[in-house]
């Protein structure tokens, strides 16, 4: 991961030092970056963070935009889309017309539109219900905070109730629109009757608390100042510290069209667009993804953005009107093939995703799955990739990808390795604990014995820990509980007697606690006290179909990386500690608790676990 940047603008050097140490950037750092003319160095810094976050992956989704009406009670100066009833261009879609626009291959339906003065609440709910019913593979990303606030006022329902009813009707995430710029000065001049920063942030906070992940945006390139841009980023970063509910950030380049705003230039410049992407990636250190929205950036700028910090190209985006009504010069839709080509030409791995960024299809050979948790960093930090490409993916999804022949190797969750032994060969490396793990934790309101017949929420990411929990419950403690999977993304723990968390989220909660749950159990400790053996959570394995030379090459790359990684545990820990909310010493101690090499005791532990597993139920009900 070592990288040298030859800075033309030396004021970026202290910022680069912070980035390498994993330190948070300040308001002034943000301004320095926006003001620099050394765009190449800025891009390299952002690309460094992008690679640490997303490996070689660039995501896209097969999606369709639905803008059910352009009739809107507001009249924001920057918007060329909205109109009033009776105008020649006004339109209203029926549910039948909406359904007609969708096809079964679509994985995301993005719904947002005008604030209609007359539509009934039930119309919106019915729209979602029917989409979900007829297109079960399509996840619904619907309604900006502006629309949620409008529903709240018009239908006299509390915000939480609006969100709950939409969620029950099928809404899975919320888009990031309506944020514009979190500045009262700009709001008063451009969208004075629209919600401001506080209401926008409060609505997203409420959504996150209810287990609805959301996106976020900034509308830039009009009358906002650089200070206002940085302030906007910092406000989003603070909310993300609190909730972890944002999936992505999308800079929206202003399209002037016939709007009432006349910037000095017709469109934002490519340099400004690339700076916006790069600064966002660097400032938003707690955001998983940054989106290059090609519709507003152009395909050309979006392509370059994939090496300037952006790891998401949005999607095929059929049916977009907001940007095109404002004069966007981009095509109305991109084909899947075109998107794959753009991503490949940028040297990245095209990954088709769902609305939560779970990978569905990977369009590249020699892809290695990377567990995106701190405990696996010693394997990947110094990994010299050569022909291999890295795809960060949760343990459970890695197993799914391997089952569908989408990846060639990875650090597999033990359960997936065991169920795919016919197609996978193990390498002598693993993630094994000694007597505790700290990142596979059961948060509970009851002791083990009292968990009989209780309901336990299971984080979506896990393949092995959920089985370990089942073995502990049934074989060690003789109790049976009902296990229910939580959705991907932020979680809502309402209604559970206990929850199982893994990875960095568990580590963070182990330190800070989880509201409403008083007892905390470390599953590796439970296992060790019972079996006096380590627990092997993950095993490096390679597809048997891979040529022998590639397998050997990979084994030696892993060995080299691990040797270097183990020598530098302290430095590596420091880089990642802040992101998780640990101090560097806590992170180092955590990593020191693992054993990364398979030995006799590790194989023995696997055998004991496999035998116990044979006699317990492994299916988990979907929530
Ligand atoms: O909120 C309006 C913006 C937004 C113009 O969440 C304009 O994945 C540029 O939020 N020029 C809606 N922008 C679009 C949006 C979005 C887009 C893609 C993906 C996601 C996501 C969200 O469009 C509005 C407003 O900020 N907008 N007029 C204009 N003239």
264 pLDDT above the threshold of 80: no
Mutation choice for ligand 1 from 252, 266, 272, 326, CB with most ligand atoms inside 8 A? 252
Task: State residue 124's pLDDT score.
Answer: 97
CA R_g for the chain: 25
479, part of any domain: yes
Asked whether residue 610 is domain-assigned, the answer is no
What are the residue ranges of helices labelled H in 326-413?
A: 336-345, 377-380, 395-403
Instruction: Looking at the structure, tell me whether residues 447 and 424 fall in a common domain.
Output: no
Is position 609 within any domain? no
Question: Is residue 339 within 8 Å of residue 363, measured between CB atoms?
Answer: no
The residue to mutate among 144, 180, 217, having the most atoms of ligand 1 within 8 angstroms of its beta carbon, is 217
DSSP structure class, residue 473? I
Q: Are 34 and 137 in the same domain?
A: yes
Is 2 within the bounds of a domain?
A: no
Is 616 part of a structural domain of the chain? no
| Same domain assignment for residues 17 and 91 | yes
**pLDDT digit string (tens) for 50-99?**
999 999 999 999 999 999 999 999 988 888 889 999 999 999 999 999 99
Residue 332 has what pLDDT? 86
On the question of pLDDT at 163 being above 60, the answer is yes
CATH of the domain at 120: 3.20.20.70
First to last CA, the chain: 39
- Ligand 1 centroid–CA 55 distance in Å is 28
What one-character-per-residue DSSP string does 534-595 give?
--EEEEEEEETTS-HHHHHHHHHHHHHHHHHHHHTHHHHHHHHHHHHT--HHHHHHHHHTEE
The 3-state DSSP class for residue 419 equals helix
Question: Which residue has tokens 């401001």?
Answer: 196
Is the per-residue pLDDT at 507 higher than 90? yes
Q: What is the mean pLDDT of residues 14-24?
A: 94
**pLDDT of 409-467, one tens digit each?**
999 999 999 999 999 999 999 999 987 888 999 999 999 999 999 999 999 999 999 99
Residue 426: strand pairing partners? 541
Q: Decide if 605 is inside a domain.
A: no
Distances from the Cα of 569 to the Cα of 216, 314, 331, 562, 565, angstroms? 34, 36, 48, 10, 6
Q: Are residues 413 and 351 in the same domain?
A: no
96 in a structural domain: yes
Last residue of a domain, one of 516, 533, 550: 533
80 close to ligand 1 (CB < 6 Angstrom): yes
Q: What tens digit of pLDDT does each residue of 345-369 get? A: 999 999 999 999 999 999 999 999 9
| Final residue before a domain boundary, out of 495, 517, 533 | 533
420 and 489 both lie in a single domain:
no
Claim to verify: residue 521 and residue 557 sit in the same structural domain: no
Q: Are residues 465 and 417 in the same domain?
A: no
For residue 618, which of 433, 402, 474 has the smallest C-alpha distance? 474
Q: Rounded distance, CA 438 to CA 420, Å?
A: 27
CB 252 near ligand 1, within 6 Å? yes
The predicted model scores a pTM of 0.95
CATH of the domain at 548: 3.40.190.10
* 409 within a domain of the structure (yes/no): yes
pLDDT tens, position by position, 93-106: 999 999 999 999 99
Q: Please, is 245 exposed, middle or buried when counting C-beta atoms within 10 Å of its C-beta (0-12, 13-18, 19+)? A: buried
For residue 175 and ligand 1, the question of a CB distance below 6 A is answered with yes
Q: Is the same domain home to 234 and 297?
A: yes
Do 388 and 353 share a domain, yes or no?
Answer: no
Share of the chain above pLDDT 90, in %: 84
173 plus 204 within the same structural domain: yes
Q: How far is the CA of 392 from the centre of ligand 1 (A)?
A: 28
Residues 26 and 100 reside in one and the same domain: yes
Q: Which domain holds residue 453?
A: 440-533
Dihedral in degrees, nearest 10, Cα atoms 385, 390, 394, 396: -90
Mean pLDDT value across the chain: 94
Q: 525 pLDDT exceeds 60?
A: yes
Q: Domain boundary residue among 511, 533, 555?
A: 533
Tally the domains of the chain. Answer: 3
pLDDT bracket for residue 263 (50, 70, 90): low
Q: How many Å apart are CA 167 and CA 460, to the nearest integer?
A: 18
Q: Is 176 in the pocket of ligand 1 (CB under 6 A)?
A: yes
Q: Is the pLDDT of residue 378 over 70?
A: yes
What is the distance in A from the centroid of ligand 1 to the CA of 42? 25
Residues 377 and 492 in one domain: no
Q: Sorting pLDDT into bands at 50, 70 and 90, what band is 574?
A: confident
Element (H, E) at 483: strand 482-485
């Amino acid at each position: 991961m070592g990288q040298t940047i030859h800075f033309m603008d030396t004021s970026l050097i202290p910022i680069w030092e912070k980035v390498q140490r994993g330190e948070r950037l300040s308001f002034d750092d943000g301004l320095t970056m926006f003001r620099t003319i050394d765009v190449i160095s800025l891009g390299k810094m952002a690309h460094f963070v992008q690679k640490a976050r997303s490996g070689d992956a660039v995501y896209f989704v097969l999606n369709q935009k639905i803008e059910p009406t352009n009739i809107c009670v507001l009249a924001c100066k920057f918007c060329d889309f909205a109109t009033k009833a009776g105008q020649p261009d006004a339109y209203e879609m029926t549910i039948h017309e909406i359904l007609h626009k969708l096809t079964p291959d679509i994985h995301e339906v993005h719904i947002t539109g005008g604030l209609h003065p007359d539509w009934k609440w039930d119309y919106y709910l019915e729209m979602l219900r029917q989409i979900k019913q007829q297109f079960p593979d399509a996840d619904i990303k619907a309604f900006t905070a502006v629309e949620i606030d409008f529903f709240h006022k018009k239908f006299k329902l509390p915000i939480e109730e609006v969100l709950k009813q939409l969620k029950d009707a099928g809404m899975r995430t919320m888009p990031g629109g309506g944020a514009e710029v979190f500045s009262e000065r700009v709001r008063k001049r451009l969208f004075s009757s629209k919600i401001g920063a506080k209401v926008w942030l409060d609505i997203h906070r409420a959504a996150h608390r209810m287990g609805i992940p959301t996106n976020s945006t900034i509308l830039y390139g009009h009358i906002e100042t650089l200070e206002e841009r940085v302030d906007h980023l910092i406000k989003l970063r603070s909310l993300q510290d609190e909730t972890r509910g944002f999936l992505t950030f999308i800079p929206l380049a202003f399209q002037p069209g016939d709007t009432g705003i006349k910037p000095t230039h017709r469109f934002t410049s490519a340099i400004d667009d690339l700076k916006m992407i790069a600064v966002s990636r660097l400032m938003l250190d707690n955001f998983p993804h940054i989106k290059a929205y090609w519709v507003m950036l152009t395909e050309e700028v979006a392509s370059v953005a994939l090496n300037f910090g952006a790891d998401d190209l949005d999607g095929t985006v059929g049916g977009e009107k907001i940007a095109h009504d404002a004069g966007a010069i981009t095509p109305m839709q991109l084909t899947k093939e075109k998107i794959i080509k753009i991503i490949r030409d940028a040297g990245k791995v095209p990954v088709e995703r769902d609305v939560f960024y779970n990978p569905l299809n990977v369009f590249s050979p020699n892809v290695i799955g990377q567990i995106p948790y701190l405990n696996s960093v010693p394997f990947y930090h110094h990994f010299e990739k050569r022909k291999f490409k890295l795809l960060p993916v949760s343990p459970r999804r890695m197993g799914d990808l391997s089952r569908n022949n989408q990846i060639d190797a990875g650090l597999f969750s033990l359960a997936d390795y065991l169920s795919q032994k016919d197609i996978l060969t193990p390498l002598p490396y693993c993630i094994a604990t000694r007597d505790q793990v700290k990142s596979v934790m059961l948060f509970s309101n009851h002791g083990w014995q009292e968990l009989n017949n209780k309901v336990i929420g299971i984080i979506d990411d896990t393949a092995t820990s959920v089985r370990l929990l089942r073995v502990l419950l049934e074989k060690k403690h003789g109790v049976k509980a009902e296990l229910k999977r939580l959705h991907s993304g932020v979680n809502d723990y309402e209604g559970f007697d206990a929850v199982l968390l893994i990875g960095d989220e568990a580590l963070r909660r182990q330190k800070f606690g989880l509201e409403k749950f008083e007892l905390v159990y470390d599953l590796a400790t439970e296992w060790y006290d019972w079996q006096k053996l380590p627990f092997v959570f993950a095993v490096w394995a390679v597809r048997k179909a891979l040529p022998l030379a590639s397998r050997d090459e990979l084994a030696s790359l892993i060995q080299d990386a691990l040797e270097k990684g183990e020598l530098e545990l302290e430095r590596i820990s420091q880089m990642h500690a802040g992101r998780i909310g640990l101090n560097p010493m806590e992170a180092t101690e955590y990593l020191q608790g693992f054993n990364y090499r398979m030995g006799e005791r590790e194989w023995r532990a696997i055998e004991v676990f496999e035998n116990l597993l044979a006699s317990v139920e492994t299916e988990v009900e979907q929530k």
